[in-house]
Structure 1
């Protein structure tokens, strides 16, 4: 077992190649060196060929059957023909703020917010794919949005979405302020090119961290011909493609609108409004967003009310989708009529950019503190880890996902990393496991979350409705044990009875697992393991814990069972003690670089750490040619 990312593969500063942005050429080269550019370019070529082939067939059949190539929707949106299923069902892509900022608790991390942070998205970049050309000259955008492709028609939908991500507070008395009001966007129209290929190019060229996609495949077909019911919730080619893209680019997290199909004809299929997700919304690795009404003062789960239109999950294999919720009703933002036009729009299209903008702030904060960005799995896990409870029962559900996004709490977990919270990016090798021990902080809820970017799944053939074959490739598990040897399991949902409350148990469907322990007391041990064999021999994963201090990371083995490091945090001296003789001790920084190797030949020693700068370090203890790594904080 080894710790890899960030210690070996590195969490690298993301570079942006547009001259107006602040990252340097050396940073651009640094992020490129972390990517397999040959793999990304090969995938880009494959999706370009596949897209053009499907598009040509779709246009030919559309001409025969009289289907429209495109159409307009409300809120300035569009639908665009991209494929045909079974030779007879057209597949269209269709488009689906201060109040949004407050609902997501982003106002608390902005300049002047109660958290004391100063996060506005400076030097951060999001990609926005939408149904037309953004009005770059709109006053709310202040020249911070750059349209990349050859779209010519202004889109109010695209302009509204972009304003929700990066809108300034200098206009409309701040009521149209976006989530990251100092960030920038690169914009594309999904109806003028191949989105997957463009995203891969943006990752390759700009080191893109976050992209927003406020569109999807409408369950009602968009053209008046509803999709076959077996496609609802199905892990199809689109879902698989986006998992493939994310597996090839582990720092990029795309945000997708869940869709606005509740209340359509498909609501009468006997699923009580559930099982309405389509296409990309069924992928494993993305972040799918549901829409709620505004929440100005969150008190408890009853404070959050679901929008009447927001599409519900689950996926056919029972994964928890959508992932998260945000305001999507009557969001006030920029439109494309003039450089000073505004409107209230509603839809999961408005909820998704609220989340995308919040993700930029969290990446900015993490980079400010650590000079590196989070993996997409860490960012996704963090948002789920810190979500506010929503829905009628504790735990996740198939309507709100894991709850209402709470940017302030997520930023706090980042701020307290190494003391009251822990964020780790690890590589789990085949046959290995991790053991994490620590003390519960009195009065705080103990929460642990693991997340990983899973390899693309295997599509099942045929037209089987609600095929529940699990799509996971690598199935990781987390368990907690207290001093009384009581075991705590992660949340799970019943993929047959959609309305049943969440319970706890073995989760073999999701690539996010979360354990919550109320009134925790004493010492807890978290064990991370995996089922079967790991595809590729290893799996990069993210671990987030809050409500626990004095955290020690290691592998379950008798030799190391009574090994300890103290005090932690340390100021000048670090003690290392083991039950048997220690061979060597190595101190490493967060990049995995050695800060010194010490021969011990004893079962205890004292290390001088006074010369180290303040920050996070790791101690590798070797006993009989076996090693265990511990994390410590230098004050």
Structure 2
């Protein structure tokens, strides 16, 4: 990578798990500590002697894979094998990699006091790749490998990592770069993995400041919010503000980035070469391991069978969907002049908001959660499109119960898209999607809701992440959530998360090629009619980009037939849960 790379981390457990720094963290209540999870990272180095990482009884596994070290499954010495703490160019690097690793998985071997600064997933391990060394002038520089897949991600994957935390990037590039393509290529080839990148610290430049490779389509891009240690806005409010330095989107091709934010100003974690000392640092570098650690906890939650009492391995798309689905709207962002500015939702400062795990991992029974996304085709949570134009419908009825306060119906769709071709860095709204899926929700009156990324004005043609929120669903009302294979170059898996207060759930697949070129262009109308007053039919009119029309007729018994010319496809009932 030609442009100079810059370094883009403890606390935030309560904020990102309950929305309140004073609450007992959700992970403590559920016994989630990351055990059995490995998180990959590439950074300046790790000081293996700090108490949060050390293993006095086991050598550091330099350039080999082991399961015996307390905290490291591998330490690849690609650049060198040392951490740094010196000031370079007037900026203290504080042992950047040590700080990030401690935020991820740190667990103190010494005092109870230092254990208060344990990482987000304190019983997870790290697979580490060193990408920093001193240049000829004595400055610390990042030197990632030219082939991120073969030389970096594959080696971390082989060491057990399925969540990757990357707190680095190029501040000179906002486009879908060769490195961004490599990130998408890795995730497409390893769909059980999720790569998480820092958005960058160039927020004072305004829009289009998010850095590559966080511009990849399928990775999670993380911005930074304030933490409770800042007091200028008052202890209860500032956690809802995006930090002034947090890089903003969109990408050069027009995609929404970052995807979400997490506390990154300040984070307290291990200080390199200082035993059990800690140090504060700020940046999206520090927010990224907060998110990655939470991703490891979600993965552990699924794999322990804590969702619906059945263990399964989630794919990377489901982990991303859970993180984004958990996110809560922020109040404002701070601009370069220290002025708080209002934001749309979602937008290019906060994405979909700040991660908050109790919005997807419910311990009180106040809402229902449905989650789909695995690579096992024999698992009922597997979701896959093989043909363009196919439709998956999810039907539910909103609860009439007054036991709990009313809750929004929220739906999040994510797919790990195939890599595309690298683009120029000119600012254009030109989609880089390869496969394009659509999300829509039909309410009891037949009205359709579209993704918030388009302000509800129609389908999203740019992002492999779509979300719809129905703030005030009709009690007792029937809703249909539709996922449509709008444009498929190749078969495509996806992940879907649904939450709200509902019951009577059913899932259906409509099998049929709606359009050989581009699938659905839009749902245009939905209305009720009657046949002799004895039965109710529901008619959908679909306009196709070729100018053709398709008609979908639902009979009183619930069957659906799809007509286009002389072609028919019947809905297949898959199951009721």
Q: Structure 1-normalised TM-score?
A: 0.65
Mapping of residues 59-98 of structure 1, within 5 Å: 83-84=1-2, 91-96=3-8
Task: Work out which of the residue numbers 458, 483, 498 in structure 1 matches 2:421.
Answer: 458
Q: State the distance in 1 between where 2:492 and 2:321 align.
A: 15
The Cα of 1:625 is off from its aligned counterpart by: 9.6
Task: Work out which of the residue numbers 246, 252, 258 in structure 2 matches 1:316.
Answer: 252
Query: Residue 53 of structure 2 aligns with which residue?
Result: 141
Query: Residue 152 of structure 1 aligns with which residue?
Result: 81
Q: Does 1:508 align with 2:458?
A: no
Contact 1:111–1:117 (Cα < 8 Å) also in 2: no
Query: Residue 428 of structure 1 aligns with which residue?
Result: 385
Query: Residue 407 of structure 1 aligns with which residue?
Result: 357
Q: State the distance in 2 between where 1:456 and 1:93 align.
A: 23
Contact 2:393–2:508 (Cα < 8 Å) also in 1: yes
Q: State the distance in 1 between where 2:390 and 2:489 align.
A: 14
Q: Does 1:279 align with 2:212?
A: yes
Task: Work out which of the residue numbers 438, 446, 452 in structure 2 matches 1:477.
Answer: 438
How many residues matched?
Answer: 447
Q: 1:302 to 1:111 in 2, by over 3 A?
A: closer
Q: What are the superposed Cα offsets for residues 134-186 of structure 1, whole Å, 9 maximum, x if unpaired?
A: 11121122433325122322241111001101122655454422111111112
Contact 2:37–2:161 (Cα < 8 Å) also in 1: no
The Cα of 1:441 is off from its aligned counterpart by: 3.2
Query: Residue 302 of structure 2 aligns with which residue?
Result: 366
Q: Does 1:123 align with 2:36?
A: yes
Decide which structure has greater helix share: 1
The Cα of 1:556 is off from its aligned counterpart by: 4.3
Q: Does 1:346 align with 2:282?
A: yes
Contact 1:447–1:515 (Cα < 8 Å) also in 2: yes
Query: Residue 331 of structure 1 aligns with which residue?
Result: 267
Q: 1:246 to 1:344 in 2, by over 3 A?
A: same
Q: State the distance in 2 between where 1:530 and 1:412 align.
A: 31
Q: 1:109 to 1:377 in 2, by over 3 A?
A: farther
Q: Structure 2-normalised TM-score?
A: 0.71
Q: State the distance in 2 between where 1:158 and 1:379 align.
A: 24
Q: Does 1:437 align with 2:395?
A: yes
Query: Residue 526 of structure 1 aligns with which residue?
Result: 481
Secondary structure of the residue aligned to 1:552 is strand
Q: State the distance in 1 between where 2:220 and 2:234 align.
A: 22
Deviates most, 114-123 or 420-429 = 114-123
Task: Work out which of the residue numbers 488, 491, 497 in structure 2 matches 1:544.
Answer: 497
Query: Residue 208 of structure 1 aligns with which residue?
Result: 161
Query: Residue 259 of structure 1 aligns with which residue?
Result: 200
Secondary structure of the residue aligned to 2:52 is helix
The Cα of 1:332 is off from its aligned counterpart by: 0.7
Q: State the distance in 1 between where 2:284 and 2:434 align.
A: 29
Mapping of residues 195-274 of structure 1, within 5 Å: 195-202=148-155, 204-219=157-172, 231=173, 233-263=174-204, 267=205, 273-274=206-207
Q: What are the superposed Cα offsets for residues 448-489 of structure 1, whole Å, 9 maximum, x if unpaired?
A: 1111000012334xx562022101111111111112111111
The Cα of 1:314 is off from its aligned counterpart by: 0.6
Alignment RMSD? 3.2
Q: 1:181 to 1:108 in 2, by over 3 A?
A: farther
Q: 1:389 to 1:483 in 2, by over 3 A?
A: same
Unmatched 5+ stretches in structure 2: 56-69, 85-94, 133-142, 333-341, 374-382, 401-405, 513-534, 536-556, 559-568
Q: 1:405 to 1:626 in 2, by over 3 A?
A: closer
The Cα of 1:531 is off from its aligned counterpart by: 2.1
Query: Residue 181 of structure 1 aligns with which residue?
Result: 122
The Cα of 1:337 is off from its aligned counterpart by: 2.1
Query: Residue 163 of structure 1 aligns with which residue?
Result: 102
